[in-house]
Chain A
Amino acid sequence: MSRIALLAALIYILIIAGIGTLNGSVLTLALPLVIYLLAGLWRGPEKLELSAERTISSERIAPGEIITVSLTVTNHGETLNQVTFHDPLPDFLEIIEGSNNRIAKLPAHGSLSWSYSLRGRRGFHTFSGLYLQAEDNFGLVIKRKFLPTSGQVLVLPSVARVRRIVIQPRQTRVYSGVIPAHQGGTGIEFFGLRSYQMGDSPHHINWRASARGNSLYTNEYEQERVADVGIVLDGRSRINDFGDRSSIFDDSVLAAVAVSSALLAEGNRVGLLIYGDRARWTSPGFGKRQRERIMQNLALSKTGESQNFKSLFIPRRMFPTNSQIILISPLHEDDLPLLAQLRRSGYPLMVISPDPVTFEARRLGNSGSVQMAARIARLEREIMLRKLRGLGIQVVNWNTAMPFDQVARAALSRPVTFLRAMRSERGGRS
C-alpha cells in the first residue's frame, strides 16, 4: 500500500467516523493528517521535463587509473522541490571521490552539475543514463524518469610484460620473424653446409670444410620467420569460479594479455578465442592494431556456463593447420581426451594452466583438513599434467601467487628441448 493511499484511507475513516458519531473532536483528529497530506501535495512534482549530459575524462583506461565523470542535468519545466538522481554503476567500477547519487532542488529552467571519480578493474560499461526520482517534501507523490545519456568506459586488463615466448610450430609463414623455420637461408643460427654458388658472400664460405674437400662450401643459417598462433582462453565458470565470488579467470586473462602481447611483438599472426557464456573470437592478425583488438576482447570477457561448452572447446577450423595453439585454462580431467586428439592431429600445443588448487587453498586458510585436501587435489592435478606432458604437450603449471612474468621467463623464454636438457643436467649433477 502506498503512503498516500494509507494516509487518504485514514482521513476518510476519521471523517466518516466523525460524521457518523456527530463528534467534532474526531474530525479535528483528521486535521493533522490533512495538513500533512496537503503540505506534501502542495509542492509535489507535476511534469518531468529534464535532460542530462555526460562527459567522461577518458573512455579507455588501465586498471587502477582514475577517470572523472561529469554530469549536467537541466530542468526545462517547473521547479522540482526534491529530485534524487542515481547513476547506476557496475560492480567492477569503484567510486574514489564524489557520489553517483545526488539529491537537489531544481528551479524552473535551472541546471545542476556534479562530478565523481572512478577507477576500476577489467571490464566495459556503457553509461546508458540517469535514474531520477522527483518527490514532494514528505515523499507522498513520487515520479520517476530515466534520462538517457551517452558514454562508455573500457577498463583494459592488467599487463604483465613478458619479453619472449619461445614456440616451435611445425609450419611458419613467409615473413621473417624470430621463430626457427627449419629451412636454410639467411639467419643467425648455423643450419648446415652447401656447395658454394655464384653470388654467395665470401664471408659465409666455410674455409675449414672447403680445405678438407676439393670445392668451396658455404655456411647456411636457419631462417627465422613468423608463425600462426591461436590462443584459447577457457572461461568456463565451473572451473574458474569458486565460492565467495573469487575467480582465477582474471589470472588467465593476465596470462593471455602477456602471451598475446609478446607473440605479436615478435611479429607473429595471433588469433584469440575466448569462451565462457559465449564464444568471442578475434580473427588472426598482426601488430599493434591486433593487440588492441585482443585487449578489448579480453576486457569484455566474462566467465559463464554455456551448454555448448560443457567440455573443452577448440574449433580446429579457426586455426590454420600446424599453427601453434596456446590454451590458457585451469584444466579439468575431462579435457584430456580433446587435448590428446588435438595433439594427434598435429597441432603443436602449449598449455598455460593457472593452478586452481593453490589458488583455492590460499583462500581457504591453513587448517589441517584444508592442507590435506589441497595435497590430494595437487597430486591428482600433477598426474593429469604428467599425462599431458606424456602426450608431447608443453605444460606450464602457474602458481598464481607468483608473478606471471617470472614464471614465463623461467618456463617459456627458451626452447623446450633446452629446458629439458638443463633439467636432466641438473638431475645428473645431483
Chain B
Amino acid sequence: MTNIALTISIMLGTGLIARGWNLAGLDNFALWFIALGIIWLIAQYNHWGWFSAAALLAVILAACAGLWLGLHAGWLIAGSIFSLIAWDLTDFRHKKLTLPKHDLRGIEQRHIARLSFLALAGLIFATLLLLLRRQFTSDWGILLGVMAVNSFTQFIFGLRVK
C-alpha cells in the first residue's frame, strides 16, 4: 500500500507543479518537472532514499518561484503538498522494513490516513487562497473533492484496522 501511495504522490507532486508551469505557457519548465518525476520514480524503485529530500527541495523552490512569477497558486501548492507526502512516505517505507510484520497493516493504514488529512488540510488552505484570488476552477474542485473522499475513506479504514 505504501508503494502505491508513494508512486501516486510522486506523480501528483511533480505532475501538478508541471501543470502550474504549463498553464502559464512555460512548457519547457513543465517538461523538466515531468523528467524530475520520472527520475524520482526510478530513484524510489532503486531505493535511493536521499533523492526524495533533494526532489522535495527542488519542487518547493520551483513552487516558490512560480508563485513569485504569479502562476496558478493552487497547482503549485498542491504539487508541494504531494511532494511533501512522497518525502514522508519514502522515510516510512524505509522504516517499515524494521517493523514487526503483524503490526504492519494497521501502522501503514493509520500513517496514510494521517497523511491524507494533512493533504486535505493543505488543500483547504490553498482553496481559501484561490477563492481570495478568484482562481477557483472546476478541476481544482474535483481535486479537492477526490482528496476529501480519500481522506474520509482512509479514516474509516483506519478505524476498522484499529
B64 and A36 form a contact (CB under 8 A):
no
| A370 contacts partner chain B, Cβ-Cβ < 8 Å | no
| B67 contacts partner chain A, Cβ-Cβ < 8 Å | yes
Bitwise interface map of B from 82 to 112 toward A, beta carbon under 8 Å scored 1, else 0: 0010001001100100111111000100010
Interface residues on chain A, size class: 20 to 34
- SS class, residues of chain A in contact with chain B: helix
Count of B residues near A, CB < 8 Å? 34
What chain B residues lie within 8 Å of A32 (beta carbons)? 77, 80-81, 84, 118, 121-122, 125
A36 and B53 form a contact (CB under 8 A):
no
| A377 contacts partner chain B, Cβ-Cβ < 8 Å | no
| B10 contacts partner chain A, Cβ-Cβ < 8 Å | no
| Chain A nearest CB, measured from B85 CB (Å) | 9
B100 and A28 form a contact (CB under 8 A):
no
Bitwise interface map of A from 98 to 121 toward B, beta carbon under 8 Å scored 1, else 0: 010111100000000000000000
Give which listed residue, B84, B98, B100, contacts A33 with CB less than 8 A: B84
| Chain A nearest CB, measured from B83 CB (Å) | 10
Give which listed residue, B57, B68, B77, B99, contacts A17 with CB less than 8 A: B68
Give which listed residue, B64, B92, B107, contacts A13 with CB less than 8 A: B64
| A1 contacts partner chain B, Cβ-Cβ < 8 Å | yes
What chain A residues lie within 8 Å of B118 (beta carbons)? 32, 35-36, 39
| A6 contacts partner chain B, Cβ-Cβ < 8 Å | yes
B64 and A99 form a contact (CB under 8 A):
no
A13 CA / B125 CA spacing, docked (Å): 19
B68 and A28 form a contact (CB under 8 A):
no
Nearest residue in A to B102 (C-beta to C-beta)?
A99
> Which of A18-26, A177-185, A215-223 lies at the binding interface?
A18-26
What chain B residues lie within 8 Å of A36 (beta carbons)? 84, 88, 118
B99 and A28 form a contact (CB under 8 A):
no
**Which B residues from 114 to 162 make CB contacts under 8 A with A?**
114, 118, 121-122, 125-126, 129
| B18 contacts partner chain A, Cβ-Cβ < 8 Å | no
Bitwise interface map of A from 288 to 308 toward B, beta carbon under 8 Å scored 1, else 0: 000000000000000000000
B125 and A139 form a contact (CB under 8 A):
no
B114 and A14 form a contact (CB under 8 A):
no
What chain A residues lie within 8 Å of B103 (beta carbons)? 102-104
A17 CA / B121 CA spacing, docked (Å): 23
Contact A26-B67, Cβ < 8 Å, known A6-B53, A31-B122, A36-B84: yes
| A149 contacts partner chain B, Cβ-Cβ < 8 Å | no
| Chain A nearest CB, measured from B119 CB (Å) | 8
Contact A29-B99, Cβ < 8 Å, known A35-B118, A139-B91: no
Nearest residue in A to B123 (C-beta to C-beta)?
A32
A86 and B98 form a contact (CB under 8 A):
yes
A10 and B68 form a contact (CB under 8 A):
no
What chain A residues lie within 8 Å of B73 (beta carbons)? 25, 28
**Which A residues from 2 to 61 make CB contacts under 8 A with B?**
3, 6, 10, 13-14, 17, 21, 23-26, 28-29, 31-33, 35-36, 39
Nearest residue in B to A135 (C-beta to C-beta)?
B95
| A237 contacts partner chain B, Cβ-Cβ < 8 Å | no
| Chain A nearest CB, measured from B109 CB (Å) | 13
A35 CA / B99 CA spacing, docked (Å): 26
A17 and B64 form a contact (CB under 8 A):
yes
A29 CA / B77 CA spacing, docked (Å): 6
| B76 contacts partner chain A, Cβ-Cβ < 8 Å | yes
Q: Which of the listed residues A1, A31, A84 has the most CB atoms from chain B within 10 Å of its own CB?
A: A31
Contact A26-B122, Cβ < 8 Å, known A10-B60, A102-B103: no
A137 and B111 form a contact (CB under 8 A):
yes
B64 and A102 form a contact (CB under 8 A):
no
A10 and B98 form a contact (CB under 8 A):
no
Give which listed residue, B60, B68, B80, B121, contacts A21 with CB less than 8 A: B68
A139 and B101 form a contact (CB under 8 A):
no
List 16 interface pairs A-B (beta carbons < 8 Å), by A numbering. A10-B57, A10-B60, A13-B64, A14-B60, A23-B67, A28-B125, A29-B63, A29-B80, A32-B77, A32-B121, A35-B122, A36-B88, A36-B118, A84-B98, A101-B98, A103-B107
Binding site for A on B (CB under 8 A): 53, 56-57, 60-61, 63-64, 67-68, 73, 76-77, 80-81, 84, 88, 91-92, 95, 98-103, 107, 111, 114, 118, 121-122, 125-126, 129
Nearest first, the 8 closest Cβ-Cβ pairs linking A and B are A32-B122, A99-B100, A25-B67, A101-B100, A25-B73, A32-B81, A31-B125, A26-B67
